[in-house]
Chains A and B, each alone.
Chain A
Amino acid sequence: MLLSTPTLAQPLSEESGQIGFYGFNDEIPEVLTTTRLRQPKTRVPGTTTVIDGAMIRDLGIMSLAEIFRLVPGMVVGDVGSGTPVTTYHGTVHYEQRRMQVLVDGRTAHRATLSDMDWQTMPVPLELIERIEVSRGPNSAAYGINAFLGTINIITRNPADTAGTEIRVVGGSRDYHRTFASVGDVSDSYDWRLAFEKRKFGGFDYQLDDDEEPIPFNSGHDINVFNYDSRLKVNSGFNADIRLGVVDGINEEDFFKDGELGATDNPDIDVRDYYLQTQLNFTTSRTHFFHVQVNFENFNRRQRWPIEVPESVVNCLIIGADVFDEANNCFQAGGTPLTANVNSDSEDSRLEFEFQDTLLFSDELKLVTGLGYRKDTFRSETFFNGRGTSYQSRVFGNLEYTPIDWLTLNGGGNWERTTTTDEGYFSPRFAANFTLGNNHALRFVYSKAVRTPDSFEQNPEYGYTLRDIAPAQYALLEGYRVESPLDTRAGTLEEENIISREISYFGQFPLDQGQFSLEVRVFKDKMRDMISGIIGFQDWTIDNNVDIDQKGFEVEAALDYPGTTFRVSYGYLDQDDWYNGPEISNNETTNYKEKKYKVALLGRLSARHSGSIVLIQNLPFGLKGSTAFYWADQLKESRFERLDLRLAKSFLQPRYTAEFAVTVQHYMNTDPDVSIDNNIEDQNQLFLEAGIRF
C-alpha cells in the first residue's frame, strides 16, 4: 500500500499516537509537476529538469530568464530593446508562445499576445523554491500552449520564509535590485509580504545605419509587490491566497519599436496585478483535490510621438495605402504632421481549475481535472476595441505499475478554444522500465497542438492619431491608420507536434557522494508551424513551415561533501522546410521568401548549448561558485560566458548575513543574438549584501 509505514520492530511509545504522518497530505511539495501527479523521476513519463532555488542564488544569477541557461536544450537571448527571450528547441524569437509557463499553477504568459514578459514577472529570485522544466510536449497535462514543454515556477511557501529578509544587489550597467520580505507563521495562518525593485540599464549601445554606436534605450525599472498566504482551517482543508502588483517602466528604443516615424522612445508603462486563490481539500491520505481561481490583469501603456511628412498626410486624406511604395507617400518637404500614437493594451484572464488526485495504491494513481479560461483583450491599436476568447478542457493521467520493474503512464488533455472553434486532444503514453529506485529507462510518445492566439488570428491593427499639430491637420484628429495586412492567407490552423523520446535516469550512490545522470534522446515532427512577420507594415504569418528535429540532451550532477558539480548539454539537429502556398511568381523571390520564412523559426535554434557548474564550500564560511554557459545560436553567433561568485556567510545566533561578489566574464566581444546587443566591458561586476533574521 502506498501509505503503509515501515514495519516497526517494536511498539512505539506514547508519542506516536499524537503525531500524524505528514508526508502525504496536500502540503507536501510535488516532486514533479510533469503529469500533475507526485512522481519520483523513475516513474515520471518524460524528462524534467529541476533547478533548485538555492542553486540559482549560489550561482549569482541576476535575472529570471538567465536561469534557463542551466536547462539542457534551452537557449536565452535578448531581442528588440533588451527583451529577454528563452525557448526550448528554438522555433520562437520575439514571441515566446510555444511553452506553457506557470507560476504556482497560474498561467504566466500574456493571454492575447501569447508572449512571455520575463522582465515583469512577479517572481523575485529570492522567492523561487524551484523551477521544474518538463522537456518535451506536455499538452497532455497543461493544455495547448505546452507545445515544446512546460516551465513550472514554484515559489517558496510562506511558512518557509517566516522572519525578515533584505538583500541588495548592485553592479554593472546600472543593475540594481532590492528585495525585502517579511512574514510569519502560526497554527492557522502563514503569510509573507515581499517587495522587489529591479532596475537595469540594458545594453551599452546599439549601432546606427552607419554601424556607429549610439545609445540604446533597453533597460527597465520595475517594482513588484507580492502577498502570499495560507489559511489553515483544519487538517483536511486549507486555502492559498496570493496577490501581486507589478508597476514600472520597461524601456523601448524608438529605433526598435516605434512605428509611424517615432520621435521619442516608446517606453512601456507596466501596471499588472493578479489575484489567486487555491482551496486545497484532503479528504484522506489517498484522496485530495483543489479548486483554483485566479484573475490576472496585464495593463500596458505605450505611447510615443510621431512625425510624418506632408506627403503622408496627403495619402491619408485620399485613403491611399501609405506603405505601398507605388503610392510614393514618403517624400521630403512640406509641413510635417506631429501626433501621438499608442500601443496600449489591457488583457485580463480569468482562470478556473479543478484537480483531483486518487491514490488507489502505490501501483495505481490517477489525477483528473477540469479547466476553464476566459481571456478578455482591450486595445484600440491591436483589436480596435475589445474581444474575448474562451478555453475549456478536461485532463487526466493514470500511473500504473503492474510489476515492480515497469511503470506505465497514460494521459491526455481535451481542449476547446474559441480562437479556432475546434476541440483538440493531446495524448501521452509512456513506459518506464525501472531497476530498483535508482534507474529508469523511459519510452515516451506524445502529441500536442498550439492554437494561434487572438492577435495572430483576429488582428485589427491600426494606430489612432491624437494631439495632432499643426492645426492645419486637425481634421485628422482621431484618424485611424490601418495596417494593410494584405498578405494574410486566411484563417490560421493549429500547429502539431508528435514527439518520441527515449530517456534514461539513474542515480549512483558513491563512496562519499552521489552521481546522477539523465539522458534524453528525442525525435519530433512539427507540422503546420506558423511562421512569418507580425508587424504593422508587414503581416505575413501563416501555417507554412514543417520541422523534423532530433537530438540528445544530457544532465549530470556529482555531489560530494561541500561540492556540487553539474553539467548540462543539448544537441539539436533541425531539418525544416516550407510547406505553404507559393509566395511569388518570380522563382528567385519565391525561393528567398520561403527560405526566409523557414529561417525565422530557426533564429533561436542552437545546435550545441550547455552549462558547466561548480559550487564549492570553502573554509572560513566562504562559498565559491563558477558557471560556464555557452550556446551556438543565430547561426554564426556564439554565446560564451563565465560567471564567478564568492560569498561569505556570517551565521550568528540571531541572524545570518551574506556578502557576495559576482563577476560575469563574456568570453568574446561579439554581440549575442542581435548586432545591437553590445556590452562595452567584457567583465561585469556585481556586489550583494543580504541579511535574514
Chain B
Amino acid sequence: MTQAPVSTVVTASDVEPALVPAISSRAPGGKARKKKTKDPKPKITWDRIKAQRVLLLMAVPLLMYQILFKYVPVYGWSIAFQDYKPGRGSIWNQEWVGFENFVDLFTGVNGERFRRVVVNTVGQSVLSLLVGTVGAIVLALLLNEVKNLPFKRVLQNITYMPHFLSWVIVASLASVALSMPSSGGFINQVLMNVGLVDEPVLFLTEPNYFWGIVAGTNLWKELGWNTILYLAAITAIDPSQYEAAEVDGAGRYRKMWNITLPGIRPTIVVLLIINSGWILSTNFELPYFLGNGLIAEKAETIDVFVLRYGYQLGNYSLAVVAGIFKTIVAIILVGSANAAAKRLNQETLV
C-alpha cells in the first residue's frame, strides 16, 4: 500500500505491464481520455434519490460550484460582440456591434498583428514539442544503457528537478544565463572562452533567436520529466526480443534501432498526437516574461496578446475574440488528437 518506488525502474516493474500502453495514451500534463465504463447504468428512482441523499449532498454542491466557475464564465463571451468600455459598467450596459470585433481581429487593422501572434504560438509550440520529444527519447535511450542503478537514480533525480521550479524562476534563471557576461551571463562567457564568438551575443534582443530560446528553455525544464513515460515504455518491452537479437549477433545500436525504438513507437506517436492538441495553449509564461519590445514580433503569442493587449491595455473585446478563437481551435485540436490517439491506440497498442 505504502510502497514508494524510488525510481522509475522499480516503479515500472511494479505496475502491471498491461498498464503501460494505457500510460502511453496519456500525456504527463494531465489530459485524461474519457473511457466508457462497463458498469450498468443506475436507474434513477425516487427511492434511490432518498437512499443516496448523503452522496448527493457530497456531490451536487460541488457540481454547482464547478458549473459556476468553469461554464458560467462563458457569459463573458458576449463582450466579443460589444464595443466594451470598462467605464460603462457591467456588460449589460454596453453597445452591441455584432461581428465587428471578429472582422477587426482577423482582417482589419489588428489582423496583421494577430496573424503574427498565431504564427508565433504555433511556431514556438511545434519547435518546443519536436525538440522536447527528440531530447526525451535520446535521454531515455541513454539512461536505459546505464547499468549502475544508483548512478542512474541520481541522474534521474537531477534531471527531474527543474520540472518543479516555477516558470518565473526558470525565466529568471534563463534571463541571467543569456545576459551579458557582466550581468552573470555564463552562456556568453562560455561561448567567448571557447572562441565561438568574439563579442557577447545579445540573445534576448535579437528576434530571430527567440523561438530557439523558448524551445531550449522548455527542453531544460521538462527534459528529465518527459523521459519518465518513455522509460516506462522501454521497461515493458519483452526482454526475450533482446536476447533473440543478441543470438543473431546484433550490437548495441542495432538493438536500440530495431527493438527499443519500434517498441516505444506507439508511445511516441500517442504522446506527439495528444500534445499537438495543445499547440495554441502552451508557451504563455516564457514569451510573457522574456519577451520585450525589441523582439515582440517573434515573441508575442496568443495568451500574451490576450493578457498584454487585452487585459492590461483594456482592449477587452478584441482579447475575448482572440480567447474564443483559441478555445474553439483548442477543442477541435484536442478532440481530433484524442480521437486519432484512440484509433492508433486500438490498432497498434492492443
A and B, one complex?
no
Residues of A within 8 A of B (CB): none
